[in-house]
Amino acid sequence: MKTRNVLVSVSALIAASAAMANVDNAALPEPVRVPDGQVQKAWTVGIGEVTYACREKADQPGSYGWAFVVPAAKLYDADKKMVGTYYGGPTWESTDGSKVTGKQVAVSPASPGNLPLQLVKANPTNDKGQMAGITYIQRLKTVGGAAPGEACSQANAGKEMKVAYQADYVFYTSR
């Protein structure tokens, strides 16, 4: 499997995102703003990769494209300490064992080559721990992670590629 790397160091990415103390939702694109009544609980920097597969498009037989398969990232706090993981589901899991799954509510385009910004409605799976009470999660400040630029055709159908990415994940609870 081939990996396309983002040409920025991990420590530089974490340092750049560490300045994010409080999200100004009014400054974000409307689709990814959290609803009223939410308060920011935590934020992390996710650094990992997204796996894509070259597949035939279901709605366009004979046409091929890169399909999102699964994300995998480590989550870091402002002190550059790993505090959890993010993986398919989607699922965010804290090192304390608590986790939250979610369903995408909305996306908003980011700059070319970067994953879109995202708003997810959360479903905590534990009533204790860091992920307890999480209601929404935002993916912001994305770097990399977009589908590969390499051609996808019948000749390379089934091929998978991993694309490096980084994003801030901001967690909210109800007031």
pLDDT at 124: 80
Mean of pLDDT values over 145-168: 96
Instruction: Read off the pLDDT band of 126 (50, 70, 90).
Output: confident
Provide mean pLDDT across the span 60-67.
Answer: 95
Higher pLDDT, 16 or 74: 74
- Mean pLDDT over residues 156-170, rounded? 97
pLDDT for position 1: 52
pLDDT band for 11, please (50, 70, 90 cuts): very low
C-alpha 111/C-alpha 124 separation (Å) is 31
Per-residue model confidence (pLDDT) at position 127: 84
What confidence score (pLDDT) does residue 6 get? Answer: 41
Q: What is the mean pLDDT of residues 10-31?
A: 69
Q: What is the pTM of this model?
A: 0.88
**Separation of alpha carbons 104 and 86, rounded Å:** 14
Q: Is the pLDDT of residue 18 over 80?
A: no
pLDDT tens figures, 41-57: 999 999 999 999 999 99
